[in-house]
Amino acid sequence: MERARIGIIGCGSMASYHGRRFVQDVPEAQIVALADPSEKSIDSFLSKVFNDGTRPEATFADYREMLAQVPLDGVVIVSPHSHHFQQAMDAISAGCHVLVEKPMVVNTADAQTLIEHARAHNRVLSISFQGPHTKEFKYAREVISRGDLGEISLVTGVCAQPWISATRGTWRTQPELSGGGNLYDSGAHMFNAMLYLTGLAATEVFAFINNKGEQVDVSASVAIRFTKGALGTAAVSGDANVFEQGIYIQGTRGAIKTSIYGGGTVEHWQEGKKVENPSLPAGDTPQNNFIDCILHGATTSTPPLLGLRQARLMDAIYESARTGAMVSVVADTEEQ
């Protein structure tokens, strides 16, 4: 059986999750190299992922050495947000396909450059949002895409959790590494759900942000206008006492409600009546889809256009919060 040789950049807890999924669920993948400046992180990854005694061929403190010395088909990037752009650029230049953790990058210019780079080198560039791979998102996306809900008129999302108590003092609260706060961290799943499920792009935003004494945003409220005239709201709380999240999409003929991550439940109302026991398609995983793209020419469920649209939206949100004015989002002409 042909196997894709995979290298992993960044060996923290989320990388261990990716590693376990590859090892346990994707027999066509082989993790052959790791890169992380922390030897402790590499040791932790090895103990969590390779508990059967097997080991990658090599480990590196510098990811560039890994790219130069180890033949790889694909690279999974699980590093601090602000590192994603250069690491993905370098991996593509080395001939690798790339699966990058969310957010893809932390500004619009980098998103455009990275997409053009991947295109020029004919490499797969996929974002590791789990939502689009779940059966719930696949169902909702299909219902919306075929027009069952009619014209989308309202898109609203919420993401509330005790985020700051879990991340205070880590790289996630350091702007130079994270690129932003809770909006770019957990909030990224909510914005991805809005953009992916509807197929729309943001055109205007007005945002309020509260850093709660931190260097990065902790809570925010955002009003959004989308293409085709749909309106939206997004609320993010990083100092909540409970975990609460979800997305609601309303059209002229029906509505859908589900988790911002996929999984859980999906509720569908059509022409005023709730659809009982909807038939959901089979789900997938980012890891399995990535390997299918490399070995079998599959199409990624999380294309870089989602990363570009999210970068445009985030740039506008931060600009609106800074200026106290409504901000137009860069015109979007791409088709998802």
Checking if the pLDDT of 139 tops 80, the result is yes
How far, CA to CA in Å, does 157 sit from each of 111, 139, 186, 192, 203? 24, 18, 12, 10, 17
Query: What single-letter DSSP state applies at residue 260?
Result: T
- Asked whether the beta carbons of 283 and 263 are under 8 A apart, the reply is no
Range of the domain at 11: 4-127
Same domain, 54 and 170: no
Instruction: Say which amino acid occupies 270.
Output: Q
Checking if the pLDDT of 333 tops 80, the result is no
Q: Percent of the chain, pLDDT > 90? A: 95
296: tokens are: 């079998």
Same domain, 175 and 211: yes
pLDDT at res. 46: 95
215: tokens are: 């260097």
Same domain, 174 and 276: yes
260: tokens are: 């911002």
Mean pLDDT of 89-109: 97
17: tokens are: 């999750």
Q: Is residue 222 part of a domain?
A: yes
Q: Is residue 287 part of a domain?
A: no
Q: Tokens 């690129």 map to which residue?
A: 179
Strand-pair partners of 224: 205, 232
Q: What is the pTM of this model?
A: 0.95
- Asked whether the beta carbons of 206 and 329 are under 8 A apart, the reply is no
pLDDT at res. 178: 96
Checking if the pLDDT of 59 tops 70, the result is yes
Q: Is residue 336 part of a domain?
A: no
Single residue among 127, 146, 180 that ends a domain in this structure: 127
Same domain, 69 and 165: no
Residue 98, SS3 per DSSP: strand
> What total of structural domains would you count in the chain?
2
Q: Is residue 297 part of a domain?
A: no
Strand-pair partners of 98: 75, 125
Same domain, 139 and 247: yes
Q: What is the CATH number of the domain that holds 12?
A: 3.40.50.720
Identify the residue with better confidence: 264 or 223: 223
Same domain, 86 and 184: no
Strand-pair partners of 235: 158, 221
Same domain, 156 and 274: yes
Let me know if 243 is exposed, middle or buried by CB neighbors in 10 A (0-12, 13-18, 19+): exposed
Q: Is residue 96 part of a domain?
A: yes
Phi-psi region of 262 (alpha: psi -120 to 50; beta: other; left: phi over 0): left
Average per-residue pLDDT for the chain? 95
How far, CA to CA in Å, does 84 sit from each of 72, 118, 229, 291, 318? 18, 14, 33, 20, 20
Sheet holding 327-328, edge to edge: 273-274, 266-270, 254-258, 244-251, 152-160, 231-237, 219-226, 202-210, 327-328
Radius of gyration of the chain (CA): 20
Residue 52, SS3 per DSSP: coil
pLDDT at res. 264: 86
Checking if the pLDDT of 226 tops 60, the result is yes
pLDDT at res. 330: 86
Q: Is residue 27 part of a domain?
A: yes
pLDDT at res. 334: 65
Q: 38-56, pLDDT tens digit by residue?
A: 999 999 999 999 977 778 9
Q: Is residue 335 part of a domain?
A: no
* Per-residue pLDDT band at 253 (split at 50, 70, 90): very high
Return the closest-CA partner of residue 35 out of 16, 60, 13, 68: 60
pLDDT at res. 311: 96
* Per-residue pLDDT band at 131 (split at 50, 70, 90): very high
* Per-residue pLDDT band at 335 (split at 50, 70, 90): low
DSSP 155-189: EEEEEE--HHHHHTTSGGG-HHHHSSSTTTTTHHH
Q: What is the CATH number of the domain that holds 256?
A: 3.30.360.10
Same domain, 271 and 161: yes
pLDDT at res. 1: 57
Same domain, 47 and 180: no
Mean pLDDT of 316-327: 98
Mean pLDDT of 8-30: 96
